[in-house]
Amino acid sequence: MKIKLTALFILLMLAAPAFADWKLSQKHGPKGTPGMIQTIYVKGVRQRMEVRPDIDPETAKAMEEAKAMGVNLPGMANSMPTTITACDVKQNFILSDPNRTFYIDYLDPDDIPADKLTRRKKVPIVRKGTLTIDAFVEDSGKRQTMFGLQARWLKFTTEMTSSADSCLETPNMKMVQEGWFVHLWLESESCPIRPQPDEGGCFPRLVVKRAASPGFMLTGTTTSYIGGKLTGSNHVETVDLSKATLDQALFEIPKDYYEVDSFADLMTARAGVDAAGNTILYKDGTRPDEKRRIAIDYFSGSASKLDQESLRNFIADKVRSAGYNGTVIGSAADLKTGTFANVIGVEIKKIKESGASKVGGLFGKVTGSDALAKAGKSQAEIVVTLYAGDGKTVVARSPANVEVSGSSTDAVKAAIDQVIESLITKIK
């Protein structure tokens, strides 16, 4: 579950709840198979959202045992960040409980303090063509009571059409939500949110043809189409909805959490500290910072449009899982300290991303549709190199060429995953 903002200018409306407090848990995923459990807490104009895998008890037990040994397995429930939307101050608080860190996402870029602007990169965006969004509701007339609320069976359709001159050449996309909807919010009070882009490049201007608000879907199915072809189906089932009073602390940043300046920093473990803020010791009694340090260098080649920080942290996690201290460097000067046993570098030889992948990723983030987020194909050709501590002497080198459904970052991650473990075995 990666928490990034869409690069399109979109107004999201977060409204005050009809109930003073409420908590809702839903299962999301293909029908009949494990997926994700999303829990939403609402108190006044503040909302907290948590996401965790819907896993069986045996797998959950294995994950807890791994956690006790200092290993954070991919997909671990507590590795996913928690998002608190504070409409009253126009901010999102994104929390990493394992790392005890938080990142403030300012919903209005003009509100970012000057000192933070100097630490957060500004990336130019070019607008060309249009992307038209048309959202409309069809009411079946069927009604029933669910969790004490009047529910309506609706079909909510969202269509996205790209103009011929758009810089993103992509087939038309459509998402259909059909199921039981209820109103949990009061429409009279709302908080307009203007997300700021987090990646540069060419994007079309957004045009809203129709905007509809069907309410909140408690149970139903979301289907996604690209170019008229079905690309995915996701079932939603509400397992709990309560109206008990919630603790205000759920909607605040914990006092002992440390603020970071990027999502990548949020997801990077603080060396030598566990989720309780205690010093971590490996079984042999050593601390992480006493382990052999392996530097993860900045990527070279055609890497400007990649989410490089998340990819470098992915490599660092692989290195840590192998028992070494994987360290994502902050500048080239770090390599001159002489404190690294080895350095890992990635050269991006070629990146090819379809228009469907670019727009599908953006639309998927807005709608929450994983199928759309993975729309289109992307190809990556890379070379991963293990250097000696000087960052120049080659110890081992492995090329990889991968095509996947998703973004260029997804493709590079898959390519790295293909070769990184064999390279790590060559660390001396």
Mean pLDDT of 78-88: 83
What is the model's pLDDT at position 280?
44
pLDDT score for 374 = 53
Contact 346, 382 (CB under 8 A): yes
Mean of the per-residue pLDDT values of the chain = 78
Quick one: pLDDT at residue 2? 36
Say what the pLDDT of residue 16 is.
41
Q: In the prediction, which pLDDT does 140 show? A: 97
Sequence-separated contacts (24+) of 424-427 with Cβ below 8 Å: 424/318, 424/319, 424/322, 424/324, 424/386, 425/322, 426/386, 426/395, 426/396, 427/292, 427/294, 427/322, 427/324, 427/341, 427/342, 427/386, 427/395
From residue 57, give the alpha-carbon distance in Å to each of 26, 92, 322: 18, 32, 26
Q: What is the mean pLDDT of residues 378-402?
A: 94
pLDDT of residue 117: 66
pLDDT, one tens digit per residue, over 94-107 is: 998 877 888 898 87
Per-residue pLDDT tens digits for 13-50: 334 445 568 999 999 888 777 788 999 999 988 999 99
Between 255 and 140, where is the model more confident?
Answer: 140
82: pLDDT strictly greater than 50 = yes
pLDDT top residue among 104 and 206: 104
Instruction: Compare 302 and 182 and report the one with higher pLDDT.
Output: 182
Q: In terms of pLDDT, which residue wins out, 204 or 276?
A: 204
Q: What is the pLDDT of residues 258-316, one digit of tens each?
A: 887 777 677 665 544 444 445 444 444 444 444 578 999 989 988 877 888 889 989 98
Per-residue model confidence (pLDDT) at position 5: 31
Asked if the model's pLDDT at residue 406 lies above 60, the reply is yes
Query: What are the strands, taking DSSP E only, across 268-311?
Result: 293-296, 300-301
Top-confidence range, 68-72, 336-340, 358-362, 391-395: 391-395
> How far apart, in whole angstroms, are the C-alpha atoms of residue 384 and residue 314?
13
Contacts with 164 (C-beta within 8 Å, 6 or more apart), sequence order: 129
- Cβ-in-10-Å burial (0-12, 13-18, 19+) of 122 comes to exposed
Calculate the CA 96 to chain-centre distance: 12
pLDDT, position 355? 58
Strand bridging mode 258-259 / 229-242 = unpaired
Can you tell me the mean pLDDT for 63-71?
A: 59
Integer CA distances (angstroms), 323 to 77, 242, 424, in order: 22, 44, 10
Backbone φ and ψ for 291, nearest 5 degrees, come out as -75, 165
Which residue, 290, 296, 292, is CA-closest to 332? 296
Residue 95 and residue 102: Cα distance in Å, rounded?
A: 4
308 φ, ψ (degrees, to nearest 5): -65, -35
Contact 275, 72 (CB under 8 A): no
Mean pLDDT, range 133-152, rounded to an integer: 95
